[in-house]
């Protein structure tokens, strides 16, 4: 078997890169572990099923607020197995469409474990197949980690691969880890009627530098308001199985009894047993495959994308890096990875979206930082929709007028952030952005308003 | 009394221009008919209350679909007066905030009818006040029109000023006019339990050149699917009041009995009795105030914005034109009105958003037109939200790579369109836009995909 490009891993990055390469005329072969894992973690055990369940949680939220529009629901019954089967139907539909489409555009998927034999040879274990190829793209993804004593047993202690299999919503859950996954599940379980405790070892939820303190604090307040028990600087000290569930002792000295523990503490790259060492593909000290701005590894002809390249494990980052890699294979040099335009989006009790630099990061990099903030509280569209919470924060370099970052908390933040992504990508400065158009009424007005605040100062500062 | 700028009309355009001028250091006086009309048509009788009621209609829609997420509502009761009072509470809150804020930043609002005496003098009838000013901004808005025999009586035949006063949802309504307002009310009334007939004289709903046929057709199909009886090339032949309501004869020969007729056939500019003739402010043959790209009228020092300047009566257009005018008063020449970036957004059974040129318009203007289309049907985020209907259509000039327009039908189209507005404003070409980032899963991916289709061709065209 021969190809221009063999892609190991048909997750978000591998699949998107395959379609892009095919579209650009390359002969592509995808290698994936099994027909059930096509689509990777995002589709099968990550963003797609979690966003489905999150929409259900959002609907339950909406049910309780409908009276504002004259609608008084008399109640509802809840059927978890129906939720689950509908959720899995969405996954199945997307996965089967993926496969059908690959077939239509003539991208073979070979099932088995892809191993790099040399920079131009991939051996597929299981299929017993050797493929000769001009280029290789590594897109093998990641898997959940566990820490310390907390070992997932698939029964009482579940990791983010196992949580999808539960047969009912537990009465009491302890979520370990206050990152994106932890706060997403906290909202889902809480609204579906579960008592939720969330512990985070660091001093705040969403404890990464690329999400500002303000965003994390605003979401934390909202989660507490709906009844999630959040404990920062806290983790599990010990636990013991008792007839009623798990008796857990936390490091803050408190004890609680829960039915389940969900481990949402992070993931590690799938870089073992795929021949990287033999082929000479280098990894950094944290175990990630080293890549340059064209997604090239240290071995000519071998590229890598997605979760194996950095701890910022996001489906769209993988897709983007995959396309950058393919573009470079085709001899194009214009498309380089730009870390400034990768959005980080969290779907919890509110949507939290960040792109580019935070205020702190911009200051550290020596920019002349100016920040504009606009609240959704008095945004007319948000008021009409009863979702007037949150804010838009935009970070600009005052000297150059360059837009450095945006941090949005509130309704549809994950979509609204795109207008700032493209402003950053297109090097639009504040003058252009202020003079663009923002529909009225729209949520997007808040973007225009925070830009105006930077350009012209806060209205309340006006000289009388 | 003296000012740098007197603005006649405190609607969207006047109010936004006042804040902007104040922010830029000008001494501003707003003139408005009464304390109850501050905020103008959009706030009091237009976009704000209609979007509120539309959200209620959307929630009723959602109620019937919740079982997909395991949520089985047992029913609901409906209370129209509650809906109405909550709706009016939103209007009241926004209006009072407006006034409070104007006071805080020291913008006096003088109540009465503003009349231009000369280019530097405004007389406020009612207040009996003469104001000397350096500049005048006309922002007097528009009012509903009626045609032929259909005269609004405030009882059985209502215009869009009167529809807000109804005390219950009618059982049967005839909406005359299939433009933005007509299709918005069709969705609202239908979902709140009313039998809706919609007649439109022209051959399609949304019958304006700036919204493509495809968008209108897609929305029309959806409205029919939920049970709205749409009749194009049809209007009212005659009607007669009978005990059960109004007996209406349509031009298609059919007859129907309804409780109410809503006239949604258009609006005309408020240009009479405000001294334009005496001051020498010229109007065009359709009665609109003539303005140039800086929003200047034919009289130096007198500017105009919003509904009085063109039939494209949109709140954000007014706000934008008002700011362009103020910017020019301050001696700046860089900000000119750009008709290419004005979004047209309709909130009906689906959101319909358009910006820039349609395919037809682009061809007429001689561009080398290429169109990319991406459907929401298989968009993963839209599937998760159960809102996977509609499409993104992007129009590009193939020769220059310039993005000419975007036409979106589907979930949150009114927000998604902003990313293309800024691309057009910032002169981003297709290469830049394709290489930008689109989060996964997100609705915005559909924007990236239609751009990719233009750049690299449809995937199914790939050579095998």
**What would the mean pLDDT of A5-9 be, rounded to a whole number?**
98
- Tell me which residue in A19, A78, A416 faces B71 most closely, judged by beta carbons: A78
Shortest Cα distance, chain B CAs vs residue A97, angstroms: 9
Check residue B392 and give its pLDDT. Answer: 98
Nearest chain B Cα to A168, which residue? B70
Shortest Cα distance, chain A CAs vs residue B205, angstroms: 22
Is residue B441 reached through a cis peptide bond, with omega within 30 degrees of 0 on the bond before it? yes
At A214, list the tokens. 């303000």
- The torsion region of residue A412 among left (phi > 0), alpha (psi -120 to 50) and beta comes to left
Calculate ∠ Cα A385-A391-A394, nearest 5°. 135
- Tell me which residue in A70, A86, A419 faces B418 most closely, judged by beta carbons: A419
- Could you read off the pLDDT of B90-143 as tens digits, one per residue? 999 999 999 999 999 999 999 999 999 999 999 999 999 999 999 999 999 999
Shortest Cα distance, chain B CAs vs residue A164, angstroms: 15
Q: Measuring CA to CA, how many Å separate B394 from each of A259, B207, B263, B432, B459? A: 51, 20, 33, 15, 16
| Residues B255-293 as b or e (16 or more Cβ within 10 Å = b) | ebebbbbbbbbbbbbbbeebbbeebebebeeeebbebee
Maximum pairwise Cα distance, chain A? 80
Check residue A461 and give its pLDDT. Answer: 47
B17, B23, B28, B70: best to mutate for the A interface, most A CBs within 10 A = B70
Q: What span, in angstroms and rounded, lies between the C-alpha atoms of B378 and A94?
A: 7
Cβ pair A94:B378 closer than 8 A: yes
Under the banding of pLDDT at 50, 70 and 90, the label for residue A459 is low
Contact list, B83 vs chain A (CB under 8 Å): 69-71
A113-118 and B255-258 beta bridge pairing:
unpaired
Cβ pair A436:B417 closer than 8 A: no
DSSP B141: -
What values do phi and psi take at B454, rounded to 5? -70, -45
What is the secondary structure of B289-356 as a DSSP string?
BP--TT-B-SSTTEEE-GGGT-S---HHHHHHHHHHHHHHHTT--S----GGG--EEEESSSEEEEEE
- Tell me which residue in B71, B316, B415 faces A56 most closely, judged by beta carbons: B71
- Could you read off the pLDDT of B138-162 as tens digits, one per residue? 999 999 998 778 999 999 999 999 9
- Tell me which residue in A24, A55, A334 faces B384 most closely, judged by beta carbons: A55
Q: What span, in angstroms and rounded, lies between the C-alpha atoms of A202 and A218?
A: 17
Contact list, B433 vs chain A (CB under 8 Å): 422
Check residue B31 and give its pLDDT. Answer: 98
CB B99 within 8 A of CB B186: no
At B79, list the tokens. 């209370």
**What would the mean pLDDT of A366-373 be, rounded to a whole number?**
97
Contact list, B343 vs chain A (CB under 8 Å): 437, 439
- Tell me which residue in B105, B380, B447 faces A460 most closely, judged by beta carbons: B105
Rounded to the nearest integer, the mean pLDDT of chain A is 96
A43, A56, A59, A86: best to mutate for the B interface, most B CBs within 10 A = A59
At A91, list the tokens. 């996954």
- Tell me which residue in A378, A412, A460 faces B415 most closely, judged by beta carbons: A412
A70, A386, A460: best to mutate for the B interface, most B CBs within 10 A = A70
Under the banding of pLDDT at 50, 70 and 90, the label for residue A147 is confident
- Tell me which residue in B105, B440, B441 faces A459 most closely, judged by beta carbons: B105
Is residue A272 reached through a cis peptide bond, with omega within 30 degrees of 0 on the bond before it? no
At B167, list the tokens. 């005390």
Which strand ranges, in their side-by-side order, compose the sheet holding B172-176? B157-159, B260-263, B172-176, B195-200, B229-232
Which of B55, B407, B412, B440 is an active site residue? B440
**What would the mean pLDDT of B31-47 be, rounded to a whole number?**
97
Check residue B462 and give its pLDDT. Answer: 45
Residue with tokens 């370990």: A176
Cβ pair A94:B456 closer than 8 A: no
Cα-to-chain-centroid distance, residue A405: 18
DSSP A218: H
Contact list, B418 vs chain A (CB under 8 Å): 416, 419, 438-439, 442, 444, 447
SS3 (DSSP) at A200: strand
Residue of A346, A349, A351 lying closest to A443 (CA atoms): A351
Q: Measuring CA to CA, how many Å separate A67 from each of A382, B85, B163? A: 17, 11, 22
Shortest Cα distance, chain A CAs vs residue B103, angstroms: 10
Residue of B351, B319, B332, B261 lying closest to B58 (CA atoms): B351
Under the banding of pLDDT at 50, 70 and 90, the label for residue A148 is confident
Contact list, A455 vs chain B (CB under 8 Å): none
- Could you read off the pLDDT of B396-431 as tens digits, one per residue? 999 999 999 999 999 999 999 999 999 999 999 999
* pLDDT of residue B461 exceeding 80: no
The residues, ordered by sequence, that sit 6+ positions from A254 with a Cβ below 8 Å of its Cβ are A231
Cα-to-chain-centroid distance, residue A55: 16
DSSP B429: B
pTM: 0.97
**What would the mean pLDDT of A203-230 be, rounded to a whole number?**
98
The residues, ordered by sequence, that sit 6+ positions from A416 with a Cβ below 8 Å of its Cβ are A353, A392, A408, A443, A444, A446, A447, B415, B418
The crossing angle, in degrees rounded to 10, of helices A80-104 and A12-23 is 30
Pairs from B18-21 (Cβ < 8 Å, separation ≥ 24)? B18/B102, B18/B107, B19/A459, B19/B101, B19/B105, B19/B107, B20/A452, B20/A456, B20/B322, B20/B323, B20/B326, B21/B326, B21/B329
Contact list, B437 vs chain A (CB under 8 Å): 316, 320, 341-343, 421, 425
At A134, list the tokens. 């001009």
CB B345 within 8 A of CB B219: no
- DSSP E strands, A155-301: 157-159, 172-176, 195-200, 229-232, 236-242, 245-250, 255-258, 260-263, 267-269
Q: Identify any residues that bridge with A72 across adjacent strands, giving them in sequence order.
A: B77
Contact list, A54 vs chain B (CB under 8 Å): 384
At A357, list the tokens. 């630099």
Shortest Cα distance, chain A CAs vs residue B200, angstroms: 26
pLDDT above 90 coverage of chain B, percent: 97
Shortest Cα distance, chain B CAs vs residue A285, angstroms: 28
Domains of chain A in sequence order: 2-143+268-339 (3.50.50.60), 157-265 (3.50.50.60), 350-458 (3.30.390.30)
The residues, ordered by sequence, that sit 6+ positions from A16 with a Cβ below 8 Å of its Cβ are A318, A319, A322, A323
Shortest Cα distance, chain B CAs vs residue A12, angstroms: 9
* pLDDT of residue A458 exceeding 90: no
CB A389 within 8 A of CB A377: yes
Check residue B458 and give its pLDDT. Answer: 77
Under the banding of pLDDT at 50, 70 and 90, the label for residue A462 is very low
Q: What span, in angstroms and rounded, lies between the C-alpha atoms of A48 and A61?
A: 20
Contact list, A394 vs chain B (CB under 8 Å): none
**What would the mean pLDDT of A429-456 be, rounded to a whole number?**
96
Contact list, A77 vs chain B (CB under 8 Å): 72, 74
CB B182 within 8 A of CB B271: no
Cβ pair B462:A94 closer than 8 A: no
Contact list, B139 vs chain A (CB under 8 Å): none
Cβ pair A52:B66 closer than 8 A: no
A20, A412, A415: best to mutate for the B interface, most B CBs within 10 A = A415
* pLDDT of residue B170 exceeding 50: yes
Nearest chain A Cα to B377, which residue? A94
* pLDDT of residue A214 exceeding 60: yes
Q: Measuring CA to CA, how many Å separate A141 from each of A42, A44, A273, B440? A: 10, 13, 13, 15
The residues, ordered by sequence, that sit 6+ positions from B272 with a Cβ below 8 Å of its Cβ are none
Q: What span, in angstroms and rounded, lies between the C-alpha atoms of A282 and A325?
A: 17
**What would the mean pLDDT of A265-271 be, rounded to a whole number?**
96
Taking one residue from A and the other from B, the number of pairs with CB-CB distance under 8 angstroms is 301
- CB count in 10 Å sphere of residue A330: 16
Q: What span, in angstroms and rounded, lies between the C-alpha atoms of B50 and B181?
A: 9
Check residue A274 and give its pLDDT. Answer: 96
- Could you read off the pLDDT of A302-312 as tens digits, one per residue? 999 999 999 99
The crossing angle, in degrees rounded to 10, of helices B445-456 and B413-425 is 50
- Tell me which residue in A23, A70, A378 faces B78 most closely, judged by beta carbons: A70
SS3 (DSSP) at A437: coil
Residue of A11, A3, A12, A13 lying closest to A325 (CA atoms): A13
SS3 (DSSP) at B106: coil
B28-32 and B2-8 beta bridge pairing:
parallel
Cβ pair A437:B343 closer than 8 A: yes
SS (H, E, C) A328-387: HHCCCCCCCCCHHHCCEEEECCCEEEEEECCHHHHHHCCCCEEEEEEECCCCHHHHHCCC
Cβ pair B43:A380 closer than 8 A: yes
Check residue A457 and give its pLDDT. Answer: 84
A464 or A331: which carries more pLDDT confidence? A331
Cβ pair B447:A423 closer than 8 A: no
At B353, list the tokens. 């958003």
């Amino acid at each position: 078997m021969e190809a221009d490009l063999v892609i190991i891993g048909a997750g978000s990055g591998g699949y998107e890169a395959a379609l892009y390469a095919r579209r650009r005329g390359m002969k592509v072969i995808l290698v994936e572990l099994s027909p059930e894992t096509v689509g990777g973690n995002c589709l099968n055990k990550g963003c797609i099923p979690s966003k489905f369940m999150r929409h259900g949680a959002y609907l339950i939220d909406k049910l309780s607020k409908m009276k504002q529009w004259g609608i008084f629901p008399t109640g509802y019954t809840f059927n978890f197995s129906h939720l689950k089967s509908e959720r899995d139907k969405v996954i199945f539909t997307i996965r089967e469409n993926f496969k059908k489409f690959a077939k239509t555009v003539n991208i073979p998927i070979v099932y088995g474990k892809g191993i790099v034999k040399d920079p131009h040879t991939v051996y597929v274990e299981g299929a017993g197949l050797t493929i000769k190829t001009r280029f290789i793209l590594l897109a093998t993804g990641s898997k959940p980690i566990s820490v310390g004593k907390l070992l997932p047993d698939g029964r009482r202690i579940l990791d983010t691969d196992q949580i999808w299999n539960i047969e009912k919503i537990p009465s009491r859950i302890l979520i370990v880890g206050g990152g994106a996954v932890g706060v997403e599940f906290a909202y889902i379980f809480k609204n579906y009627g579960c008592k939720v405790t969330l512990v985070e070892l660091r001093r705040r939820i969403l404890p990464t530098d690329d999400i500002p303190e303000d965003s994390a604090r605003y979401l934390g307040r909202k989660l507490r308001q709906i009844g999630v028990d959040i404990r920062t600087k806290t983790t599990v000290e010990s636990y013991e199985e008792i007839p009623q569930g798990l008796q857990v002792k936390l490091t803050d000295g408190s004890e609680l009894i829960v039915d389940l523990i969900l481990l949402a503490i992070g993931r590690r790259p799938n870089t073992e047993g795929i021949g990287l060492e033999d082929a000479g593909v280098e990894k950094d000290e944290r175990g990630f495959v080293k890549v340059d701005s064209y997604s090239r590894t240290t071995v000519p002809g071998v590229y890598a994308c997605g979760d194996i390249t950095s701890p910022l494990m996001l489906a769209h980052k993988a897709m983007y890096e995959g396309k950058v890699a393919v573009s470079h294979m085709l001899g194009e040099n214009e498309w380089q990875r730009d870390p400034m335009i990768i959005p980080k989006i969290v779907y919890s009790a509110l949507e939290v979206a960040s792109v580019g630099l935070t205020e702190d990061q911009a200051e550290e990099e020596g920019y002349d930082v100016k920040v504009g903030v606009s609240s959704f509280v008095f945004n007319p569209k948000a008021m009409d929709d009863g979702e007037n919470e949150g804010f838009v924060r935009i970070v600009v370099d005052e000297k150059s007028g360059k837009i450095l970052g945006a941090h949005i908390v509130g309704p549809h933040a994950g979509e609204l952030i795109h207008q700032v992504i493209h402003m950053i990508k297109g090097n639009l400065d504040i003058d252009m952005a202020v003079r663009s158009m923002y529909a009225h009424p729209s949520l997007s007005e808040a973007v225009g308003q925070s830009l105006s605040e930077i350009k012209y100062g806060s209205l309340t500062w006006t000289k009388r």
